[in-house]
Structure 1
Amino acid sequence: MALLTTSVGRAAASPVSAGEAAGLLLYRNYLAYRRAWYIFVTGFLEPVLYLFSIGIGVGQLVTDFEFHGQSIPYAEFVAPGMLAASAMNGALLDSTFNFFFKLKYNKLFDQMLATPLTTMDIARGELAWSLLRGGVYSAGFLLVMLAMGLVSSWWAVLVVPATLLIGLAFGGICMALTTFMRSWQDFEFITLASMPLFLFSATFFPVTAYPPAVRWVVEVTPLYRGVVLCRELTTGVLTWGSAFSVLYLVAMGLIGLRVVGRRLDRLLLT
């Protein structure tokens, strides 16, 4: 707490850099959540339970699964998709429900603007926290995959950075969309959007199972791009699809961050 007070005192005397502002907001969120660490467990357990129930259960019935010409166990096919979903869940929770509460109810962002922090500092700091939360979920899930022998390539060392890109994309866009929400009832749209993204992300079966028209739609969804990236890294079968996924996720996150900054300007400074 003394560190935070000292940093704020310095910030009051002179403007802070983007990195310092993000660090202050990360530390603030850490202080707010350190006694409620169990909240992080919920987002981590959901994909793990899916992995055991579907990946392992159905995997007993599917003895051989084809992926890019290679035969892999069904659980090894499903697990990277659940890993990507875990990163999405971590970013989604903080960039929607928590962000909305800070913006509309406890007016935390209004208080921050009484300091040298800017609206873009707030946007970057909140996005950084979403990335951290998604990264924690993903790192824990990756350890589960390693313990179960569901990782077959050294490329998997890049999986956690890949999940941070998923968090960047979902965190940026979801924060942007949240700034347009008027009440808690609007969060029905979050469920309406996130559930189809999860079910139609080619997590449980290959995208080639869809008709061509549906397949095109699935391939341009952000979770599918994350699933492609994680699956190719954990199996070691890399294609240009991974490179496209990286560019797609980075662009989506940066666009969302830009929109958040402008929306916060409009909501809090006018």
Structure 2
Amino acid sequence: MLQNLEIRVPSAVPRWGGAHFLVFRNLRVHTGGNPWTMAMYSIFEPILYLLAIGVGIGQLVGDVEGVDVPYAAFVAPGLLATAVMNSALHETMEGAFVKFTQERFYQSILFTPVSLTGIVVGEVAWAVLRGFVTALGFLLVITVFGLVSWSNAVITAAGTLLVAFAFGSAGLAVTTRIRTWSDFQYVQLVLLPMFLFATTFYPVTVYPRPVQVIVETLPLYHAIQLLRGCALGQLGSGMIVSVVYLLVLGALGLVVARRQWARIMLH
């Protein structure tokens, strides 16, 4: 029935399926029109990590060997990537799960000019906005602390858009496999080891080569490599691999999410 409805009103469906309507709706619902409210909540935890580990332990560590930057400046981009990842995933995982299972929001919105494609694109776009606002708040703090230069902060902010896109798309695809709230525990079993071992707190060179290969396959590793290179002004050809990795992850996530949500909602 819902599939037939979507076909009957193609002339009423705006470009991109009305995705912008969903973004505006989410912005109003979550913040009352003030996006900086999101940043305040999202950066609190990574700031605590930065103060406790980056600054506290950094006083004992000194400069990071092979990178020649203070430990706090090395850790900050890793925490930034984690904060952006968590913000994007929160919207396309827990947020999407609630809208589908409890609020029945997605089922209702299909009776409007917003199409299924609009829902998928809109939710990912919203996740990108959420991650970007979080990034701006965190970047402002670490720039004021002198851990990132203002010019590098601008480049890093652009990189966070790609990170948010990759994880937002992947999260929306994974959510189609979530059946109950307890299933999110399995997600945490993936996210926590990534946070701890994907070079957030130390270079990948501390691992033996076989372990390095495994770490280099993790999406958070590439997010950290991209943002760390931008934040420290150490741009190189090696970052192209991370950019391509995140682009492919985001594009693949969009395709899978569109297909899976169609299977769930239209059949």
2:83 is paired with a residue whose SS is helix
Which one of 218, 225, 231 corresponds to residue 234 of structure 1?
A: 231
For 2:194, the equivalent position in structure 1 comes to: 197
CA distance in 2 between partners of 1:259 and 1:120 (Å): 12
CA distance in 2 between partners of 1:67 and 1:164 (Å): 28
State how 1:82-97 maps to structure 2 within 5 Å: 82-97=79-94
Which one of 245, 249, 260 corresponds to residue 248 of structure 1?
A: 245
Residue 173 (structure 2) pairs with residue 176 (structure 1): yes
> Structure 1: 5+ residue runs without aligned partners?
1-10
CA contact (8 A) 2:64 2:70 kept: yes
CA distance in 1 between partners of 2:225 and 2:174 (Å): 25
For 1:133, the equivalent position in structure 2 comes to: 130
| Aligned-CA RMSD value | 1.8
CA distance in 2 between partners of 1:61 and 1:251 (Å): 39
Residue 97 (structure 2) pairs with residue 104 (structure 1): no
CA distance in 2 between partners of 1:97 and 1:57 (Å): 33
For 2:211, the equivalent position in structure 1 comes to: 214
Which one of 9, 12, 17 corresponds to residue 14 of structure 1?
A: 12
Deviation at 1:40, TM superposition (A): 4.8
For 1:116, the equivalent position in structure 2 comes to: 113
Deviation at 1:265, TM superposition (A): 0.9
For 2:75, the equivalent position in structure 1 comes to: 78
For 1:42, the equivalent position in structure 2 comes to: 41
> Structure 2 counterpart of 1:17, which letter?
R
Deviation at 1:117, TM superposition (A): 2.0
CA distance in 1 between partners of 2:150 and 2:42 (Å): 26
CA contact (8 A) 1:153 1:233 kept: no
Deviation at 1:154, TM superposition (A): 2.8
1:142 is paired with a residue whose SS is helix
For 1:151, the equivalent position in structure 2 comes to: 148
Deviation at 1:250, TM superposition (A): 1.0
CA contact (8 A) 1:12 1:115 kept: no
For 1:223, the equivalent position in structure 2 comes to: 220
For 1:3, the equivalent position in structure 2 comes to: none
> Structure 1 counterpart of 2:50, which letter?
L
CA distance in 2 between partners of 1:66 and 1:234 (Å): 17
Structure 1 runs of 4+ off > 4 angstroms?
Answer: 35-40
Which one of 251, 259, 266 corresponds to residue 263 of structure 2?
A: 266
CA distance in 2 between partners of 1:27 and 1:124 (Å): 13
- 1:74-101 deviation line (CA, Å, top 9, x unaligned): 1111111111111111101111101111
- 1:219-261 deviation line (CA, Å, top 9, x unaligned): 1111110111111111111122211111111110110111111
Which one of 248, 257, 261 corresponds to residue 254 of structure 2?
A: 257
2:61 is paired with a residue whose SS is coil
1:203 is paired with a residue whose SS is coil
In the superposition, the TM-score normalised over structure 1's length comes to 0.90
CA distance in 2 between partners of 1:238 and 1:40 (Å): 27
For 2:6, the equivalent position in structure 1 comes to: none
CA distance in 1 between partners of 2:257 and 2:225 (Å): 27
1:57 is paired with a residue whose SS is helix
> Structure 2 counterpart of 1:190, which letter?
V
Distance 1:40 1:101, change over 3 A: farther
CA contact (8 A) 1:153 1:236 kept: no
- 1:197-221 deviation line (CA, Å, top 9, x unaligned): 1001101111000121111111111
> Structure 2: 5+ residue runs without aligned partners?
1-8
State how 1:54-65 maps to structure 2 within 5 Å: 54-65=53-64
2:65 is paired with a residue whose SS is strand
Distance 1:67 1:220, change over 3 A: same
- 1:174-196 deviation line (CA, Å, top 9, x unaligned): 11011111111111112111101
CA distance in 2 between partners of 1:13 and 1:213 (Å): 55
